[in-house]
Amino acid sequence: MDIDNLFKVPKFPASGNKRKMPANPTPEMLKKMRMDPEASNESVEKSPAVPEVKDKMRATVEDAIEDDEDRSFAPGGDADYFIEEDEDGRFYGGGLTSEQKDILNIFERAGDEALAESDELTITGIRRTLLKFERAVGKNQDQRSKYPNDPSRFIESEADLDSAIKSLLPLAQVPLIAYPELVRSEPIVLLVGLLSHENMDIVIDVVEVFHELTDEDVGLEAEDDEEENEGNAAALKVLIEALLRNSLLDLLVGNLKRLNENEESDRQGVFHILGFFENVIGFNPSFATDLVSKTNILAWLLERIQSKKHDENRGYAAELLSILLQNNQPNRLELGKKDGIETLLKVVSQYRRRNPIDADDMEFMENVFDSLCSALSEPSNKVLFVEAEGPDLMVLLMKERMDAGSKSIKTLDYAMSGPAGTATCQAFIDASGLKTLFSAFMGKGTKKHKTAALLPASEDASHILGIISSLFSNLPSDSPERIRLLAKFVENNYEKVDKLLDIRENALSRLKAADAEVEGQKKALLTEGEEISEEHEDSWYILRLDGGLFTLQIVDYILAWIAMEDDGIRSHLIQMLNRKNQSLKDMVQTLRIYHDNVGEDPNAVDASQKEILRELIHALEPSGDQ
């Protein structure tokens, strides 16, 4: 290898004798222009002359550029082709146009910003952020106290405070290290205190931070790291408990009245407050009781859902109300004390002659009905429901055959269940509800007349059966209301008895499939040598209930009542069962399963239901014609 040839200094033509380049030179031509293979070795061999050659070379290049301003021949339009030089004077372009270089610079700056952001999420960066926030709060408080009547003197500190609060939002990305630090330091108290700030924009900023820091997805990015996720959950618990210790719930509810939802920013503030409440309850449902008992949130929600104009926050208010009442007896009782039953009835009445206008309105309506159903689990609220003429409204909604009709059937099922539903049952019949109920039961007035009762997942059919069951359980014997109910099963040649038998047959076919699945699971356990535990038995019973057993139990319960009270129905029932190779004994078997799985709790519901089942079984067993 000839080392001298590798380090030859290229020759450059005199500025007045430049070689002209075509508009689109080839790579070979460019290469030839940049290195002259005939250059002499003498410049390298005589080292003292090298610096002089370098100086001449640079001068020649500068002259060449000055003499010819047209750089369009640069390959690829490289903006820096003629100005990027190394220390020996060689120039090599990057092959990038000006536009491409601008794009690369943007990406480079973004990378620097991301690096800076990642630095902020270290323990050192977090402490620096919190310190900056503390200083911003202190400065703003100081200037507001000095110049309370001159906003121009503290507006700059307000802007700095706004920026400092928003800088806390990224802490949600690292709850494991950020939340304990936030709780240990003063900023947690300062943040809560800012909810009383005169500037509502500051309050809204703080609310957004609370909403973001308590989001259910906080710190769950590490899907495969269960230990890290558990640590994040523990950190979130520490943060929420610290916030609640500082009376945060009451302060947030108080700000709901300060916010003017005619302004977009204030609407967002209300949304964040409701979102925070949902986050906290989702993390620990027991906080729902504290929220209702220690604040005035229930009254605000009831007022908010009565708004004539529907928007996102109205829908969110209905959803939060439904969450607060679900599986929470104290909150349900409190709703009744605040005239909540009457309020909910007023809201659903608007759907008597119209359907929801869109999906959001539909969701709103469903949440209001769900709240009503939850509240009617309490006997005291059932009394209020009757006093507010709730049964009459539900019957009207059923008659109109709007979307609300299906929800009204569900509501009546809740209102009429149990011994406390007796008054509702009587009011329902007084409102001429039987005609409307059995019209829906037979599918009259709908396009699904022939198949509605056979649909296994029909929620309406399930609730209608529940209503009929409650009517038989609660209406006094030989009362005019009970006689009217029984007459419905006699009219039109027992058509409603036949309908019940069709539903029963469909439930039996579904139950066979569920039983096959249960048997398969049992065999699998026995094959593996495992013992069948009580938990297994309970899970299989639930599987069978979902697979048709629940429907079968309700249907046989109703059939047992009407067979016991009317000989004509009994004879017709036995005849129809014989055609399907079945008898009253099959109904008795179903009722025994029902009886054995009704809880032994001494409360009125379970005790009365168990006694009724015992009497029905006794009434069907002695018959010699089964």
Please return the burial class of 16, using the count of CB atoms within 10 Å of its CB with bins 0-12, 13-18 and 19+: exposed
In DSSP notation, 175-231 reads HHHHHHHHHHSTHHHHHHHGGG-S-HHHHHHHHHHHHHHT-TTTT---TT-HHHHHH
Digit-coded pLDDT (tens) for 467-514: 999 999 999 988 999 999 999 999 999 999 999 999 999 999 999 999
Find all residues with CB under 8 Å of 568, minimum gap 6, and list them: 490, 494
Which residue's structure tokens are 């700030």? 197
Please return the burial class of 306, using the count of CB atoms within 10 Å of its CB with bins 0-12, 13-18 and 19+: middle
Digit-coded pLDDT (tens) for 403-460: 999 999 999 999 999 999 999 999 999 999 999 999 999 887 544 434 333 333 378 8
Q: How far apart are CA 187 and CA 164, in angstroms?
A: 11
**More confident of the two residues 528 and 258:** 258
User: Sign (positive/negative) of CA torsion 316, 322, 327, 330?
Assistant: positive
Q: What is residue 120's predicted lDDT score, i.e. its pLDDT?
A: 67
| Residue 91: strand, helix, or coil | strand
Q: How far apart are CA 324 and CA 322, in angstroms?
A: 6
Beta bridge partners of 85: 91
**H helices within 351-490, ranges in order?**
359-375, 379-387, 390-400, 403-416, 422-430, 433-442, 459-474, 480-488
Q: How far apart are CA 368 and CA 360, in angstroms?
A: 13
Q: What is residue 224's predicted lDDT score, i.e. its pLDDT?
A: 53
CB atoms under 10 Å from CB of 479, counted, come to 12
Digit-coded pLDDT (tens) for 171-191: 999 999 999 999 988 889 999
Digit-coded pLDDT (tens) for 305-320: 999 888 999 999 999 9
Q: How far apart are CA 625 and CA 606, in angstroms?
A: 31
End-to-end CA distance of the chain: 113
CA dihedral in degrees (459, 460, 462, 465; nearest 10)?
A: 170
Q: How far apart are CA 288 and CA 170, in angstroms?
A: 28
Decide if 463 contacts 409 (C-beta within 8 A).
yes
User: Sign (positive/negative) of CA torsion 394, 397, 399, 405?
Assistant: negative
Please report, for the chain, the start and end positions of each structural domain, with discontinuous segments joined by +: 3-73, 116-480, 498-620
Among 2-6, 349-353, 462-466, 523-527, the minimum mean pLDDT is found in 2-6
CATH number of the domain at 116-480, out of 3.40.50.300, 1.10.3720.10, 1.25.10.10, 1.10.10.10? 1.25.10.10
Q: Nearest-CA neighbor of 373 among 430, 421, 301, 435?
A: 421
